[in-house]
Structure 1
Amino acid sequence: MMPHIKHLLADKPLLFIAILYSCFISFLFFIPSQDLPNVHFSALDKIVHILIYFILVNLWMLYLYIRNGFQFKNKWGLILLLSVLLYGIIIEILQGLLTISRSADIFDVVANLIGSFIGIYFFKSIKNKFKA
């Protein structure tokens, strides 16, 4: 009985971290831009988006991987990619509609997608190291 309980509880902290990170970045995307540091290097914004989505995808991929007995299915990557893409599009639309100091930017969506692709590729290349 104990191994089953241990298995059920094993992925809960990771699920909590993935949800907390998702909520945190959602909050960050709606902070008024005047409250953010002024950056003169415009590509830095896109690099930040790539990094944020890289981390987001890896947290959720790790959760799914552990939750499903250290097995990876390509459909999870595709479903996660589509979900994160939809999330990014919705965030951009809401930024344009609900905030004064931010606007929707298609290049942010592209950067999010690039970060997601890199994240999935990275996770697929290192996933076997988590089995130990």
Structure 2
Amino acid sequence: MASTIGMIIVCTTLAGSARAGEVGWGDVTASYDGKKRSVAQGEFYNKKKVYAENRVRTKDLAPDGNTVYAEMEFHFDGGLTGIGYHTPEHNHTYYVQNYLRSELDGASQSVRGSTHACVQMGYPVPDRCSVWAQPSFSY
């Protein structure tokens, strides 16, 4: 199995890929034992000049009973970091949409929303996660 530690995906807004002001990201895919297990995609944006919000869609690619979720961190350029944000776990083979958000930091001017897809493998196998998508915006 190839190691993906330290890899990131830098996201940019492409014409037609997201609504005005949104930074589209994904697909990021988590694999285990040579099989794709989960995928996540979404849009990162400034919600009413109050929140950094991430619209996240996750899907189970291997209907084997293991659940999937997305994990997220907010990184503000002023040094504030918010970690431990998760979507609810599910095992649906269609996209499930959730929202993760953090209040904007008044001492910062930009924020990065690091997000990856994960699959819950169960003990003793640790969860497997994709590379990090790294969408960001200035405010």
TM-score with structure 1 setting the length:
0.28
More helix by share: 1
TM-score with structure 2 setting the length:
0.27
More strand by share: 2
Larger radius of gyration between Structure 1 and Structure 2: 1
